[in-house]
């Protein structure tokens, strides 16, 4: 079996909690984190911590506290990658999807400058994907190259190139939907091998408010954990035993 990169058992954890896109919903994320701590679960957040909700600084304080305590981490999402570029002064194009709200909240926060400094450092080295046994964690979508290669150590600080492009943005069709968002495909699901489960976010694909589970042609599965937190929906998480 592939070695556990998180060493959860030897560190005394009972399992892990996989948390979907937060998008600034600090109250919900506080509840997810508090519940994980009470159950002695390591927390893996699937990216898109900020942009859209009422309190992105609060979300950041909580994830940084978890990281400092060795109790959690976040996977690199497209919103983190874009936020870091904005903090460094880059002029961004396209739909900003709540980024201006996050920047305004950071400017108003008493610890905003400290949060900005830490964001620049921590986004740069956030993992673009994480493979642990029969589970695989990525923000947007899987690519077979990820199964045999570690992500770049500085993926959050680099120009996005394959397969990190797939990890952050998913499989795009090249056009936009009626709501203006890019059309994203799920053909990648058919490349997931049997016995492997992908936990991802990025798209709110659920129609009943619960994480959506789909199986590909090879027998592998994907579980879409984004249920719309910070975007009119709610935050979801899944607990996995060791």
24 in Cβ contact with 101 (< 8 Å): yes
Is 1 within a domain? no
Residue 235 belongs to what domain range? 16-241
Taking the CA atoms of residue 201, residue 207, residue 210 and residue 214 in that order, the dihedral angle to the nearest 10 degrees is -60
pLDDT at 181: 67
Q: 154 is written with which tokens?
A: 């500085």
Q: Residue 20: which CATH number?
A: 3.60.21.10
pLDDT at 184: 79
Is 2 within a domain? no
pLDDT at 32: 98
Q: 29 is written with which tokens?
A: 């994320």
Is 5 within a domain? no
From first to last of its 242 residues, what are the pLDDT tens digits of the chain?
567 889 999 999 999 999 999 999 999 999 999 999 999 999 999 999 999 899 999 999 999 999 999 999 999 999 999 999 999 988 877 666 789 999 999 999 999 999 999 999 999 999 999 999 999 999 999 999 999 999 999 999 999 999 999 999 999 776 666 665 667 789 999 999 999 999 999 988 888 889 999 999 999 999 999 999 999 999 999 999 98
CA-CA distance, 190 to 194, in Å (whole number)? 10
pLDDT at 144: 96
57 in Cβ contact with 71 (< 8 Å): no
Is 3 within a domain? no
Distances (CA, A) of 10 to 74, 239, 242: 21, 19, 11
Is 8 within a domain? no
Is 7 within a domain? no
Within 8 A by CB and 6+ apart from 98, the residues are 23, 24, 50, 51, 52, 53, 79, 230
Is 36 within a domain? yes
Is 235 within a domain? yes
Report how many domains make up the chain.
1
Task: Look at residues 13, 22, 11 and name the one whose alpha carbon lies nearest to residue 42.
Answer: 13
């Amino acid at each position: 079996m592939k070695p556990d990169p998180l060493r959860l058992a030897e560190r005394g954890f009972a399992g892990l909690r996989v948390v979907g896109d937060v998008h600034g919903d600090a109250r919900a994320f506080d509840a997810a984190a508090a519940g994980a701590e009470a159950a002695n679960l390591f927390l893996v957040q699937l990216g898109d911590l900020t942009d859209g909700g009422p309190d992105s600084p609060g979300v950041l304080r909580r994830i940084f506290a978890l990281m400092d305590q060795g109790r959690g981490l976040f996977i690199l999402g497209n919103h983190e990658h874009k936020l870091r570029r904005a903090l460094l002064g880059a002029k961004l194009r396209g739909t900003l999807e709540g980024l201006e709200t996050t920047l305004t909240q950071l400017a108003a926060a008493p610890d905003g400058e400290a949060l900005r400094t830490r964001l620049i450092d921590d986004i740069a080295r956030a993992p673009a994907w994480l493979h642990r046994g029969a589970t695989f964690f990525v923000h947007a979508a899987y690519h077979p190259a990820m199964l045999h290669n570690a992500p770049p150590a500085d993926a959050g600080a680099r120009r996005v190139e394959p397969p990190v492009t797939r990890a952050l943005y998913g499989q795009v069709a090249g056009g936009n939907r009626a709501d203006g968002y890019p059309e994203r495909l799920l053909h990648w699901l058919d490349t997931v091998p049997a016995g492997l489960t992908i936990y991802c976010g990025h798209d709110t694909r659920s129609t009943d408010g619960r994480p959506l589970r789909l199986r590909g042609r090879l027998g592998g599965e994907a579980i879409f954990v984004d249920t719309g937190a910070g975007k009119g929906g709610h935050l979801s998480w899944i607990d996995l035993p060791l």
